[in-house]
A and B are shown apart, each in its own frame.
Chain A
């Protein structure tokens, strides 16, 4: 249309950019695509200030499910990825979106459920047997249903138990399609069983009468991995600072900081970082 119209639009853009500037002003900052389980447990509030004090690099955490975190990282919307779904992470690297994957820490999954324990699985150390019992009793089970790391683990356990739970979706098997906390809120609200990582459970405040029913099975191992988003694929990736974060979290200092984090005297994450084959 006219020059006037153009000026109008230009001034709108100027307003937008003037408000926008603080994001770009933070000179040394990286975006960490990570999972709700690590962020909600408070681990990053403990770790990141230590890293920033050491290097002057600020870390902005986007906490979403592992599936979405990997998707965002594939789009180049992040510099470092720290999630917990080893197979998906290795595919991410194999497809060229990540540089190299390193183990960083672990904890474990647990099955929580109502104190009344309708499927009578309390105290069991056998996750697959417990899931079989839950399916047999048609006891309510709240699933993430969101393609997250926890959801993928849950599906592996159902397969191992020889149960196809999605056939019962909407009856005793309830797929929430939401994050860990939201799913635990649902489980607490409807007295359902749920698979959760221990970190989220310890820090979760709305437990109601739910408690840990199954723990200690080797199949419930929960490994976290860290990797740099490939700058060859996405030139915007801040490779130097992202690598500095990975180097630090795998260093003795970083690993000790992970081990030092606890809630109410309980250690949430156990460092097992290695530089792998490199």
Chain B
């Protein structure tokens, strides 16, 4: 098991050498996954909140579907997005395949259900508290959604983090639609897959350690922000 020791020293060496290639890969990983989280929140949060406060026939079925889609296999999402963006597919004319945007689209498809399903839960709980007040003031659904999303913003940060974790860690979707092209679409996870296939397990593990550290830093930043903001809001 000397690979572990080797991997840790390699991870340190990689980070502190300020390797330009590694930096490029890290920046692209963050850019792709954070953009995907942003887009997913823009779609998933209103959707989730809307689902939480509305009552319509078939709502139960929609909820089951949205929750089930949380388990979408990345490789299936990758395949669907590939077939859509391929030159032989309906959106080939956009020329997005093998580009960072294709990766963002794939990750957005992957994590929007997660954001929507989890925020439905969060907003439902909050709505149970607010429902009577909304009724007495006859608040419109649109204003109710806005108010609920705002008041639940700190819990929703955790929802966004769950989406980010899924996005930054997946390899199945981005390797198909991005192609793992050096200096163009190579991200942390596809680089790890590549080094594993070259049999360079220590380097692959070192990259894994770097990726986990990045996820840790992003999470810590969001949690700190949340704590500071909570303290400020309720001070």
**Which A residues contact B (CB, under 8 angstroms)?**
8, 12, 15-17, 19-20, 22-24, 26, 31, 36, 40, 45, 60-63, 72, 74-77, 179-182, 184-185, 188, 203-207, 234, 236
Contacts and interface: CB of A to CB of B under 8 A. Distances in A.
Given A181-B197, A203-B198, A62 B88 contact: no
A181 B180 CA distance: 16
Interface string B50-74: 0000000000000000000000000
Contacts of B219: none
Given A23-B96, A31-B179, 18 more contacts: A12-B42, A15-B35, A20-B100, A23-B100, A24-B99, A31-B98, A31-B181, A40-B197, A60-B181, A60-B184, A61-B181, A62-B98, A63-B180, A74-B88, A75-B86, A77-B88, A77-B98, A182-B196
Report, nearest first, the 9 A-B pairs whose CB atoms are least far apart. Answer: A181-B197, A20-B101, A23-B99, A206-B199, A76-B87, A62-B179, A75-B88, A205-B199, A204-B199
Contacts of A19: 31, 35, 100-101, 104
Nearest to B184: A60
B191 to A, nearest CB: 13
23 contacts: A12-B39, A15-B35, A16-B35, A16-B101, A19-B101, A20-B99, A22-B99, A22-B184, A23-B98, A23-B100, A23-B185, A24-B99, A60-B181, A62-B181, A72-B86, A75-B88, A76-B92, A181-B198, A182-B197, A185-B197, A185-B199, A236-B87, A236-B95
Contacts of A185: 196-197, 199
Interface residues of B, number: 33
Contacts of B42: 8, 12
A204 B99 CA distance: 29
User: Interface on chain B toward A: helix, strand, loop, or mixed SS?
Assistant: loop
Contacts, number: 99
Contacts of B157: none
B230 interface: no
Interface centre among B39, B88, B89, B104 (most CB of A within 10 A): B88
B179 A60 contact: yes
A204 B198 contact: yes
B105 A16 contact: yes
A124 B100 CA distance: 48
Nearest to B32: A19
B165 interface: no
A24 B97 CA distance: 11
A76 B184 contact: no
A261 B125 CA distance: 64
Interface string B105-116: 100000000000
